[in-house]
A and B are shown apart, each in its own frame.
Chain A
Amino acid sequence: MQTLQQQRYQLLQPHLRGAQLLAQQLLQCQSSAEDCLHDALISAFTTKGFPETAKVKAWFLQVVRFRSLDLLRQRKKLTTLDAISTLEEVVNTPLPAESNALKALSLLPFAQSDVLVLRELNDCSYAEIATIMQIPQGTVMSRLARAREALRLQLQQLERGEQAND
């Protein structure tokens, strides 16, 4: 006999990796991303407004994104209080990325990496991205184009840096 929690976990499991990458990209910290994913899962288990199966991915990614943004806002407040020198050390630690593509992605500004992670790492359609980011569907294509161009330039810069080091 499956509990409601187990049914929901099964629906969410295929999207966990993508969701964690999204949180990681936004928060730039692996452990914060894990905490964020944990919180999002708890919300998913307890909410009365759990979506129908077809909308689960967009809904869950939206929850993770909002939660990450909340954490970023909190972090900003803490920074202004100048009370988190140790936390900042953790936050500024570069993400362990083995591939140049992921490294370049983590170096992009927040607004650009956000949309790219949703499209490339979560395979979201333009309609889903529009729902998650709460922007018009028409804006998604141009934002993605700008983000891809920025990633292309970033990758070229990384490759040039590697060649110079060699």
Chain B
Amino acid sequence: MTEATRECALYEPLLSGALDNELTQQQQQLLQQHLQRCEYCSAKLAQLEQQSAALRAAQQTMPEPTMPHLQTTTTPVWQWLGWLLMLVGLLVIGGWAAYQYVQDASLPIWLKLAVGAVYLGLTVLFIGVAWQRKQQAKTDRYKKVQL
């Protein structure tokens, strides 16, 4: 490589920019004019190109990081369908049973009300616990800890 002139220092950032295709048209023209008369910068540009290619090639040889524990498996559609069918079935049977129970004239009204209160109470308790669990899951600081 021949010696660098004082002018070469000014063109150093442009050499880097040319390598990355990030120069404006005006900058490209300026650099081309300089490269035509400067062997030092032409050789340096070639050297920088080689250096850049070596880095990129070295990167390709490195293994791809994988985070298998972070890739949760997809819930299959048939599983969703199973839950949906079961829920619909339960709702239909429950609704029919409740209707039959209310319509049954052989049972006294106070017994119907008492049984209704027990079921209502159970439902309220179930919803309360579910809501509590949801709040806990939201505020759990350690849920991301994976062992």
Q: CB within 8 Å of B: which residues of A?
A: 1-3, 5-6, 9, 16-18, 20-21, 34, 37-38, 41-42, 45, 97-102, 105, 116, 119-121, 125-126, 141-142, 144-145, 148-149, 151-152, 155
Contacts and interface: CB of A to CB of B under 8 A. Distances in A.
A6 B65 contact: no
Given A101-B54, A101-B58, A144-B16, A9 B65 contact: no
A120 B56 contact: yes
Contacts of B72: 3, 5-6
B129 to A, nearest CB: 25
B71 A17 contact: no
Nearest to A140: B22
A98 B48 CA distance: 20
Nearest to A125: B22
A98 B58 contact: yes
Nearest to B21: A125
A21 B77 CA distance: 38
Interface residues of B, number: 33
- Closest 4 CB pairs between A and B? A99-B58, A145-B16, A101-B54, A145-B13
Nearest to B73: A6
Nearest to B69: A38
A163 B56 CA distance: 24
A37 B16 CA distance: 29
A148 B56 contact: no
Contact of B74 (A3, A17, A141, A148): A3
Contacts of A99: 54, 57-58, 61
- Looking at chain B's contact residues, the main secondary structure is helix
Given A101-B58, A148-B19, 19 more contacts: A5-B72, A6-B71, A16-B65, A17-B65, A98-B58, A100-B54, A101-B51, A101-B57, A105-B55, A119-B20, A120-B52, A125-B22, A126-B20, A142-B13, A144-B20, A145-B16, A148-B51, A149-B12, A151-B51
B55 A1 contact: no
A120 B144 contact: no
A17 B62 contact: yes
Interface centre among B14, B20, B48, B144 (most CB of A within 10 A): B20
Nearest to A122: B59
B54 A1 contact: no
Given A16-B64, A21-B62, A121 B20 contact: no
A148 B19 CA distance: 11
B58 A148 contact: no
A100 to B, nearest CB: 8
B116 interface: no
A58 to B, nearest CB: 16
